């Protein structure tokens, strides 16, 4: 407690009167978190379905506390649409770009360019990772997958690497894309719920250490495949 800010008289008056009340206040959020994560790790629901279960749990909690109203429901739906709408339009733009790119023969051009490089196989993988990192800065992961995996996976197979291992590399690489500017979806999610005083620039700057951590993990998996493949 001494490491935190000192309590004022107002804080003491508004605080919990007992530890029992404090415990009661965290039971419901804890149950909702267990409902979401438990359904995922228990194999009951996918990530999207688990999110819906979390919404259902929150709705039951609001009704149980007697705070439900159609006005609150309307406002929450409106805020959700505003937050998700930005991400949906990014996905629509990515899908459009990928379709035009493939129709123009861009996928065949990249495949011939990579296979024509007179370099060691690990260098080709580094080029692939660099391409994925750059594309992830501008496209959502679905668009990147549609654009690159039909090209990269056969090349990886021809080089003698495991497609499963490359799939793990792709997943970790796309985790970087969720954070990287200028179109990192996670940053836009945060901006949608953050106070107006927090700018998008502040969010991207704060994400830089986490991007560095993801890159360290990516290169560790790239140069030490057994980290990801020891169960196979």
Degrees, nearest 5: CA angle 28-29-32? 90
What average pLDDT does this structure show over 139-163?
Answer: 83
How confident is the model over 7-42, as pLDDT tens digits?
A: 666 656 555 555 667 777 788 888 999 999 998 888
Q: What does the pLDDT average to over 140-148?
A: 79
Query: What's residue 172's pLDDT?
Result: 93
For 218, other C-beta atoms within 10 Å of its C-beta total 20
Q: What is the mean pLDDT of the chain?
A: 84
- At 104-126, the pLDDT tens digits run 887 778 777 777 778 888 888 99
Dihedral (CA of 214, 218, 220, 225) sign: positive
Residue carrying structure tokens 């990801």: 228
Residue 212 pLDDT level (bands cut at 50, 70, 90): very high
The answer to whether residues 161 and 125 touch, using CB atoms and an 8 Å cutoff, is: yes
Residue 219 has pLDDT above 90, yes or no: yes
Of residues 154, 140, 169, the one with CA closest to residue 111 = 154
Express each pLDDT in 46-100 by its tens digit: 888 898 999 999 999 899 888 889 998 899 889 888 878 877 786 777 778 778 8
169 vs 45, 65, 118, 163, 227, CA distance in Å?
Answer: 25, 45, 23, 10, 11
Q: What is the DSSP letter of 160?
A: T
Residue 170 scores a pLDDT above 80? yes
Judged against a pLDDT cut of 60, whether residue 195 lies above it is answered with yes
Segment holding 18, helix H or strand E: none
- Please state the domain extents for the chain: 1-68, 80-229
What is the model's pLDDT at position 213?
94
169 within 8 A of 221, measured Cβ to Cβ? yes
């Amino acid at each position: 407690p001494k490491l935190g800010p000192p309590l004022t008289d107002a804080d003491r008056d508004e605080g919990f009167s007992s530890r029992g009340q404090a415990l009661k206040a965290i039971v419901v959020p804890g149950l909702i978190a267990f409902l979401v994560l438990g359904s995922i790790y228990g194999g009951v629901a996918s990530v999207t379905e688990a999110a819906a279960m979390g919404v259902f749990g929150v709705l039951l909690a609001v009704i149980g506390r007697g705070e439900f109203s159609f006005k609150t429901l309307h406002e929450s739906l409106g805020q959700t649409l505003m937050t998700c709408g930005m991400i949906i339009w990014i996905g629509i733009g990515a899908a459009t770009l990928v379709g035009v790119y493939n129709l123009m023969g861009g996928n065949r051009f990249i495949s011939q360019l990579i296979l024509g490089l007179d370099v060691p196989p690990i260098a080709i993988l580094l080029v692939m990772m660099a391409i994925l990192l750059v594309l992830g800065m501008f496209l959502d992961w679905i668009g990147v997958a549609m654009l690159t995996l039909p090209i990269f996976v056969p090349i990886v197979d021809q080089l003698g690497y495991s497609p499963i291992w490359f799939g793990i590399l792709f997943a970790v690489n796309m985790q970087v894309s969720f954070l990287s500017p200028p179109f990192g979806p996670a940053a836009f999610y945060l901006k949608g719920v953050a106070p107006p005083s927090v700018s998008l620039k502040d969010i991207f700057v704060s994400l830089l250490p986490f991007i560095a951590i993801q890159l360290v993990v990516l290169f560790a998996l790239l140069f030490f495949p057994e980290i990801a493949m020891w169960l196979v």
